[in-house]
Amino acid sequence: MTVILSSFLTFTGVVTNMVKSREWSRKTREEVITLHRKGNGYKKIAKMLNIPRETIGSIIRKFKAKGTVETLPGRGRKKMLTSTAVHYLKRRVEKSPHVTAEELRKDLSDVGTEVSAQTIRRTLRNEGLHARTPRRTPLLSPKNKKSRLQYAKSHVDKPQKFWDSVLWTDETKLELFGPMDQRYVWRRKNKAYEEKNTLPTVKHGGGSIMLWGCFASAGTGKLQRVQGTMNSLQYQEILDDNVMQSVTNLRLGRRWIFQQDNDPKHTSKSTRAWLQIKGWNILEWPSQSPDLNPIENLWWDLKKAVAVRKPKNVTELEAFAHDEWAKIPVDRCKTLVSSYASRLKAVITVKGCCTKY
């Protein structure tokens, strides 16, 4: 790395920080010169423009010496890194986004350029590169990417009528004091542990529930709590109790399509046999693809809405979940489904990798 960096950074300069005085506008400086030419003295001009007398003198002396009121080259704080060094930093972080500012500082130090990690962070921010918490995404194998890409290409041209007939389903976990319950507190330094400034927590999140739900372009369908650990048999019972009622309520018609992910209990031998008996039209689904299921967006909406209500126990958690699920606007559901082609195009663009959805 040192050898490569040495050849890349042909010259990197570090200069002493200079204190920069206030720079008056060109219009103001021109007014000073105009008033001076009319015979006004320094003191009078300073009073007229509300500018220090010393500054008036400086502007006039500069004009007499240089014949201009323009800002001359060389004014202001000098850059601590040359354009070559900045170019190196940009290339480095774009190629290796997980590299730290301290590692970059050491790289520069190895070739004789001593700057702080903070200077590197500031330089990269000025170039539009900001340190951010990385988004967590499913681990995709080459096989997963190929499957996702194939799914996207084979479905991207489906008419909107096709997607409007899909019943999207999934499970999610709702915690009593989960990650959605984010709060802030205004406090003074060293007062973090005063009782009024703390947020009491309960070990293991204070309880949680697992929910199965479904929705379509026409709105949200049934929502049911999963008791205990769900296995294939319980999954089939949930589908039996909720799917057809949701299809009827949402008026999906006789050509409706059932969507589920590739969870083992969804694809077990007994579940596959059960679905075959039902005769439902199953939407093929690529593994590791939560970003392709728009119900994930509704789960996010649900968790935020429930967190705002601050349930005190699991009973309230479940009650609030059912209440907020029913409140999700039909327009929200319709928008998610009507834009589904955009998800597929995004997958194609990134060649099967994860998308922002």
Position 132 in a domain: no
Model pTM?
0.67
Position 355 in a domain: no
Position 354 in a domain: no
260-302 pLDDT, tens digit per residue, is: 999 999 999 999 999 999 999 999 999 999 999 999 999 999 9
For residue 63, pLDDT beyond 70: yes
**Domain match, 109 and 183 both:** no
Cα dihedral 5, 11, 17, 19 sign: negative
323-356 pLDDT, tens digit per residue, is: 999 999 999 999 999 999 999 999 999 999 999 8
pLDDT of residue 193: 64
Q: How far is CA 300 from CA 41, 179, 296, 335, in A?
A: 69, 11, 6, 15
pLDDT bin (cut points 50, 70, 90) of residue 18 is very low
pLDDT bin (cut points 50, 70, 90) of residue 12 is very low
> Which one is predicted more confidently, 42 or 340?
340
Instruction: Tell me which residue range forms the domain holding 94.
Output: 2-16+77-126
C-alpha angle 54/59/61, rounded to 5°? 90
Cα 49 to chain centroid distance, Å, stands at 48
**Domain match, 46 and 161 both:** no
- Which CATH number belongs to the domain containing residue 58 in this structure? 1.10.10
pLDDT of residue 19: 40
Cα 204 to chain centroid distance, Å, stands at 27
What is the rounded average pLDDT of the residues 184-207?
63
Strand segments, DSSP code E, in 68-218 are: 166-175, 208-216
**Domain match, 112 and 169 both:** no
Position 134 in a domain: no
Q: How many domains is the chain partitioned into structurally?
A: 3
**Domain match, 111 and 203 both:** no
pLDDT of residue 2: 52
Position 135 in a domain: no
- Which CATH number belongs to the domain containing residue 213 in this structure? 3.30.420.10
Task: Return all residues near 276 (Cβ < 8 A) that are at least 6 apart.
Answer: none
120-167 pLDDT, tens digit per residue, is: 999 889 888 888 877 778 888 999 999 999 999 999 999 999 999 999
**Domain match, 60 and 100 both:** no
pLDDT of residue 65: 83
212-252 pLDDT, tens digit per residue, is: 999 999 999 999 999 989 999 999 999 999 999 999 999 99
Task: Give yes or no for a contact between 125 and 140, defined as CB atoms under 8 angstroms apart.
Answer: no
Position 291 in a domain: yes
**Domain match, 54 and 81 both:** no
Give the count of beta carbons closer than 10 Å to the beta carbon of residue 155: 18
Lowest mean pLDDT among 142-151, 182-191, 308-317: 182-191
